[in-house]
Amino acid sequence: MRINFNVPPFTGREFDYMREAVENEKICGDGPFTRKCSEWIEEKTGTAKCLLTTSCTHATELAALLADIGEGDEVILPSYTFVSTADAFVLRGATAVFVDIRPDTMNIDEKLIEDAVTERTRVIAPVHYAGVGCEMDTIMDIAKRHNLMVVEDAAQGIMASYKGRPLGTIGDFGCFSFHETKNFSMGEGGALLIRDAAYIEKAEIYREKGTDRSKYYRGQVDKYRWQEYGSSYLPSDMNAAYLYAQLELADEITGARMDRWNEYWEMLTPLAQEGRIELPHIPQECTHNAHMFYIKTKDMEERSRLIDFLKKKEILSVFHYVPLHSAPAGLKYGRFHGEDRYTTKESERLLRLPLFYKLTAEQTEYIADQVKAFYRQ
């Protein structure tokens, strides 16, 4: 039984909807399926506006444009994240200021943020790792007192919440990813969530090559013109059709993932109780979305041996991220504020186990058994 690390989500309805998109003779951006997806997300999260984008990276770029980030500005973010969180701001000329993470959730340590604020700081970009919310009350309070904007990297956070508030809707802007590795996918894609309606018009213009074509499509202007700088951030309606099939079954997909997550948790708890591994921590105020199941080994060496052991059993497990502050671009465009107590150390011992929509209970049990076998050998 060979088990891949990830299998992109597929429900069966995708082909029907993609065929419909083609038959609509509307395969460019902002067609009927794009509208359906945006409205679904708006209804589900309560955000003022959702704009579907070509990726979460591009949603974050839009947020950086809306925050008017420029040369010399600083953005505070964790070093333990995917490159996009930093890229979107660095592309506008900003410096990435990395802050250490909390070892329990792998999220930015909210208690260390305020000390990293300077007169150049413009944005805090928390990352909700594994769909587990950052300590948003503290982060929003710091932002308010220092007049900063908050851009949530909620790439992994759809269907998850903090104190009952959907991730991605708490800060000024929130960014979802629909990459094939995420809970819901359109191959490549994402969404920008806009909390305050005042930013909608500008966001639509940046997303449509700097034009007011969105207004034109709604019949609000009789011709569209070049209004501002911008780029092309809208996905094809065929991709949106693929995504819509999954949003319709969002509860079922999340439920299946949650079942597998809970099975891992139960079966691996004995190893955690013996102190052999550590399991993820979900704070009381967070509802997660079973985006990821990870364990922590003793150290990097043990992790490498476990990966090899699982590979021999045809189970593919992976780790990420190489901390950004130690990467070539991180050295060039960023700096670490304070001490790296946990970022490097914890990233070296985290291992992700397979978790995807069609993973079965039997496969999950087999994987957990093999992890146990490794520690019992």
Q: Which residues bind ligand PLP (CB under 6 A)?
A: 55-57, 81-82, 84-85, 127, 153, 155-156, 177, 179, 190
- What distance lies between CA 123 and its chain's CA centroid? 17
Cα first-last separation, the chain: 21
Cβ closer to ligand PLP: 3 or 186?
Answer: 186
Cβ closer to ligand PLP: 156 or 254?
Answer: 156
Alpha helices in 46-152 (DSSP H): 56-66, 84-90, 113-116, 136-146
**To the nearest whole angstrom, how small is the minimum distance from the Cβ of residue 146 to ligand PLP?**
24
Cβ closer to ligand PLP: 26 or 92?
Answer: 92
DSSP 203: H
Coil vs helix vs strand at 181:
coil
**To the nearest whole angstrom, how small is the minimum distance from the Cβ of residue 276 to ligand PLP?**
28
Cβ closer to ligand PLP: 33 or 374?
Answer: 33
The torsion angles phi and psi of 294, rounded to 5 degrees, stand at -125, 160
Cβ closer to ligand PLP: 55 or 370?
Answer: 55
Cβ closer to ligand PLP: 174 or 190?
Answer: 190
Cβ closer to ligand PLP: 137 or 188?
Answer: 188
**To the nearest whole angstrom, how small is the minimum distance from the Cβ of residue 285 to ligand PLP?**
20
CA angle 44, 50, 54 (to 5 degrees): 120
**To the nearest whole angstrom, how small is the minimum distance from the Cβ of residue 149 to ligand PLP?**
18
Answer positive or negative: Cα dihedral of 267, 250, 83, 143: negative
Separation of alpha carbons 278 and 314, rounded Å: 23
**To the nearest whole angstrom, how small is the minimum distance from the Cβ of residue 156 to ligand PLP?**
5
Answer whether 192's CB lies under 8 Å from 173's CB: yes
Cα 255 to Cα 199, 289, 365, distances in angstroms: 34, 9, 17
Answer whether 363's CB lies under 8 Å from 259's CB: no
**To the nearest whole angstrom, how small is the minimum distance from the Cβ of residue 131 to ligand PLP?**
10
**To the nearest whole angstrom, how small is the minimum distance from the Cβ of residue 153 to ligand PLP?**
5
Strand pairing partners for 166?
161
Which regions of 36-155 does DSSP assign to beta strands (E)? Answer: 49-53, 74-78, 95-99, 121-124, 149-153
